[in-house]
Amino acid sequence: MTLNVHLNANANNVRVGVVGLGYVGLPLAVEFGKRYPTIGFDINGERVAELLAGRDSSLEVEPDDLRGATHLSYTESAAEIADCNVYIVTVPTPIDAHKSPDLGPLESASRMLGGVIAPGDVVVYESTVYPGATEEVCVPLIEQVSGLRYNHDFYVGYSPERINPGDKEHRLTTIKKVTSGSTPETASFVDALYRSIITAGTHLASSIRVAEAAKVIENTQRDVNIALINELALIFNRLGLDTQEVLEAAGSKWNFLPFRPGLVGGHCIGVDPYYLTHKAQAIGYHPEIILAGRRLNDSMGAYVVKQVIKLMTHRGCLSSGSRVLILGLTFKENCPDLRNTRVVDIVAEFKEYGIVCDVHDPWVNPDAARHEYGIELIDEPAPGTYDAVILAVAHRQFSDLGVARIRGFGKPKAVLYDVKQLFPKDQVDGRL
């Protein structure tokens, strides 16, 4: 049996179902929905309802773009996507409490598709996984539920997501897309499908495993590079050197890479390396550099707290009743994305010292902060209240406030610590 779908001049036979409408799935559904009949599916009824009302709480897609996807509809019913012939899976692939891959959402999506897929259909996975996961984990579940045979009755592609939340310059259509397929015909189809919406073009990998590996090392490389800079920051602090000054001096050379120290969270950089190391250990290899980088990056929240405590001690503002204000909770600036934010490490570490933290973030839905991390956000910090203020995320609102107003949240001797190097070093008391 061959594919029952192909691209032609009118593309009348392509019907796309996007499974998962988060930061990755929604932009994808919108772009496909401008050209092809497309249904966006999500198990979260509230998410579907807001999209039906023309709102996107992730702020990744503008209302005009939502309206411009004239062929796009939304549903929380699996039965309503059964008429599609191309399914694209964009569900989360997080890690569990033991830092092992949590494939639960991916497995659930695969079982669900096994119940709706028809002979000749194509399933494309975009979720980040270790090399081999698509064909070793997902495909058998589809076969088991559907009774169909892989590469005989249905076909699979893999095109890893490259969404950068909050980035208004590098968008879905302007980032080159890696594609792959389980047969040469499938690979050609998947590549042509994405080329029809990605203006930056595509890179057709030779196999699904190559495409999976390419994705997982993209962020592993960044993670290791940031770990190096974080370690340099620890060294320079002991030497009495300002890390930012050193990096600016080194950056005057044309081939010095512009990484900066900081908290490493988010849906990719703080997660993807664990998928690769999991697979490496499964085949008998213990990664050294990758895991060392992960340990160092995961320790930076505790390091920040140690530095702030030291400054508070020197200022004489550390006591059993000390209060700390943390500005920012998201994993990066100017977006509401809370996934795997490492700001929570700072909150937890202060709690170990018995110090109460208030957290303020104008980008975050308070219900989301409460649900994900049990953190109650404050609306507006009260002036003159805190013994230390930590600028944890470089939101533009904090930049607009300026140092004087931010210092005003603290008491006269309060410490101002700048995790993100947003302000000049002579205007703060400490920074990474």
HSE of 311, CA atoms in CB hemisphere, 13 A: 21
Listed in order, strand segments (DSSP E) in 50-152 are: 72-75, 86-89, 122-125
Transcribe 48-93 into DSSP letters. Answer: HHHHHTT--TT--S-HHHHHH-TTEEEES-GGGGTT-SEEEE----
Buried b (16+ CB within 10 A) or exposed e, 278-292: bbbeeeeeebeebbe
Check: CB of residue 395 under 8 Å from CB of residue 308. no
CA-angle at 101, arms to 173 and 112, nearest 5° = 70
Structure confidence at residue 266 (pLDDT): 82
pLDDT given at position 166: 76
Query: How is residue 118 written in tokens?
Result: 């028809």
Task: Give the rounded distance of the alpha carbon of 405 from its chain centre.
Answer: 31
What pLDDT was estimated at residue 267? 80
pLDDT of residue 169: 80
Say what the pLDDT of residue 3 is: 72
76 and 54 Cβ atoms separated by less than 8 Å: no
Considering the candidates 268, 317, 335, 357, report the single residue annotated as catalytic: 268
- Contact criterion met (CB below 8 Å) for 150 and 137: no
- Residue 365's pLDDT is what? 94
Give residue 293's pLDDT.
96
Segment 240-249 long-range contacts (CB within 8 Å, at least 24 positions apart): 242/425, 242/431, 243/431, 243/432, 244/421, 244/425, 244/431, 245/425
Extract the tokens encoding 182: 């389980």
List of residues 6+ apart from 270 with CB closer than 8 A:
223, 264, 297, 298, 331, 340, 342
Local mean pLDDT, 10-residue blocks, the chain (432 residues):
60 89 96 96 96 92 92 96 97 93 97 97 96 98 98 97 82 95 96 96 98 95 96 96 95 95 88 95 96 96 97 92 96 92 96 94 96 95 96 96 96 96 94 91
- The per-residue pLDDT for 9 is 41
84 is known as an active-site residue = no
Residue with tokens 């320079």: 236
